[in-house]
Structure formats: structure tokens, C-alpha cells
Amino acid sequence: MKKENPVRALLFIALAAFAFSGQSKMQESNGVRYRNPIVFNRTHLDESGKVKLGSKLWVMEEDGSGLRQLTDGTTYDDHPSFYADQRHVLYSEFPVNALDRKAGARLVKLDIYTGQRETVLAVDGCALHHATISPISDDLIVYHRDCGSRLSQWHGLGGESYELNTVAINGVAVAKESVIFMHEKNRGVAPRQVALARIWGHGAGSKIVFLTDDKALNRRPAISPDGKWLAWQTNAAGAGDEIFLAEIDGAKPRNLTNAAGNDGHPWFSRDGKWIVFESDRTAKGYKGHGCEENRACEIWKLNIATGKVTQLTSGAGKYASTRPRM
């Protein structure tokens, strides 16, 4: 494990404060207040459809109103996650306009109203990314720590933090000693074989149970705030990606979206009644996976009880919207 360099962390903070001195003004000039905000990534496209800004953070109300940009500049701001107060967001900031792990990345906490930001964690020579705050508790945070060729998944940010002792990506914590994560068999082999699994404990005596099989690409797990339900993105139903829902132990899975195109990155609303997700289902004539390639994706929400879906964003060829969280 690499030791954190306090000098580097302070320098990183100073440079970020200088580079983003105009962002706080942008936040304070907007009097919008949100009841149930959704934060998400947006890729900014030029007139030809090419990427201009790889990923900036945006926010909106749960009905799509109050849409506004949160971050600016040429950093790559990725994978936002709300704290329980629905005012502060945790995200990963890459110093370049791309998800470039070699460039390093830090975890940043942002106030969506004032624009104030602070470094939560920075490790010398490492990229910290894909941080997820569990809807169960702000103390349950899982993130990637990539240090050169060493890739790892960590639970927690404080003195009790630890590395998961198995191959794990995109985890979400269910409890202090329990994480649901993606486990990929035969990395680098196509088609990808990825199962969702849950681990209890760490080190000797830890226990792992698989929640899905690995015959498809099962990924991006989300859990309900009451800890009873599991949602995830999968291509198990066919060529496109769908969102499945199951009990927290993987029992009784069912296809929630069942639509043309690709649906992914599910996340539960705070009351557990809705799921927000990304989809390229309205990308007419688009070839390929519009969300994966950051070209033709929008944010939608789905009522779990009725199955009703509502489109919340419309990028009009200028933006591709992904990775929503509430």
C-alpha cells in the first residue's frame, strides 16, 4: 500500500482552487433549491459530434427541472455520488480531459449550492475513482484505487479502510463489512463474463457468495436504501443491456426495462420507489452502444411498481448524459 503524500495533496488542492476559482461564483449565482436532486455526468460535444469535454457534473430535480452545470474547466469529473444530505457530492477528478488512470485522480467533495469543494482523499501515484456512497449510510464508501499496474477495490476512507481481498470492481457497500461487486472471470477475454458477488469480511475467514451467474455481463450493482433490493445492468436478456431487479440475495430476478437499446447505471431514489438510469433508446440511427461511447445517452427514471418510464434529459446532439445518482 502506498503512503499518502501530504505535500502533494496540499499542492493538488492549491492548484485545483486556482483552476476552478470561477466555479463557486457559478454556483452562488443560481438560487435553485432541490427536493430530490439527481446528479449525473455529461459529455459535451461540438457541432460535429466529437467530444469537447469528456465529463462534467450536472444536477437537476427528480422531474428534470432545474437543470444546471456543476463543474467546469478541462478536468474529467466522474462518477458522482450523493451524501445523505443531498447537498454534497463525492466524485473523482482527473487532472486531464479524459479518464486517464496514468494521470492520477483524487476524490473530491462538492457542495452543489455554493460550489465549495474539498479533497477527501488523494494518494501519490494513484488514480482514485468510481467512488460509491451507499444509500444506507455515508460511512459506507467503496472506490477503486489504481496505482500503476496494481488495481484494487477499497472499502472506507478513514482509519478502518481496507482493500477487498478478491478481484472486484464497481462495488457498493451493504454494511460495514459487506460489499456487492462485479467479479470478472478471464479478464481481457471477449465476450466478457462478469458475475455479481457479495463479500462479508476481509482477509482470512471472509465469505463470498455469487448473486448471479457469469454467463453474461452483469455489472453496476445498486442497492435500495432499505437494503432489501438489488438492481443492476446486464445483457443476459439479449443483445442490448437491460436493468434487472432482484432481492438483495439475487433471488427472483426480473427484467425491469425490457426495451430496445441499452439501459444501464441504475440507482434507487431515496424512497426506493423509483430507479434512475441511463439509456440510448432514443438514439435514432445510432450504431453501437450510445452510453458506452458517450455519444447518444439520456437520463430516464422508472416507477418500480407501475413500470412507467419518463425521460428527464434531452441533449439535442450537444450532450450525452450518463451515470445518474440520487
In tens digits, the chain (326 residues) has pLDDT values of 444 554 444 444 444 443 443 343 344 436 789 999 999 999 999 998 899 999 999 999 999 999 999 999 999 999 999 999 999 999 999 999 999 999 999 999 999 999 999 999 999 999 999 999 999 999 999 999 999 999 999 999 988 899 999 999 999 999 999 999 999 988 888 888 999 999 999 989 999 999 999 999 999 999 999 999 999 999 999 878 999 999 999 999 999 999 888 999 999 999 999 999 999 998 876 666 768 776 789 999 999 999 999 999 999 889 999 999 99
80 is a domain residue: yes
Q: What CA–CA distance (Å, rounded) separates 250 from 256?
A: 14
What Rg, from alpha-carbon coordinates, does the chain have?
19
CA proximity to 305, closest of 245, 263, 252 = 245
Domain total in the chain: 1
Three-state secondary-structure class, residue 33? coil
Q: What CA–CA distance (Å, rounded) separates 202 from 250?
A: 21
145 is a domain residue: no
143 is a domain residue: no
324 is a domain residue: no
Residue 52: all three cell numbers together: 469537447
Cα–Cα distances in Å, from 175 out to 122, 167, 200, 201, 227?
24, 19, 9, 10, 9
Q: Does residue 253 have a cis bond before it (omega within 30 degrees)?
A: no
160 is a domain residue: no
Phi, psi of 143, deg, nearest 5: -155, 165
281 is a domain residue: no
> Which residue range(s) make up the domain with 124?
1-134
83 is a domain residue: yes
289 is a domain residue: no
Q: Which residues contact 162 (CB under 8 A, 6 or more apart)?
A: 154, 155, 156, 202, 203
CA proximity to 172, closest of 181, 163, 164 = 181
Report field, pTM of the whole predicted structure over 0.95: no
Three-state secondary-structure class, residue 19? helix
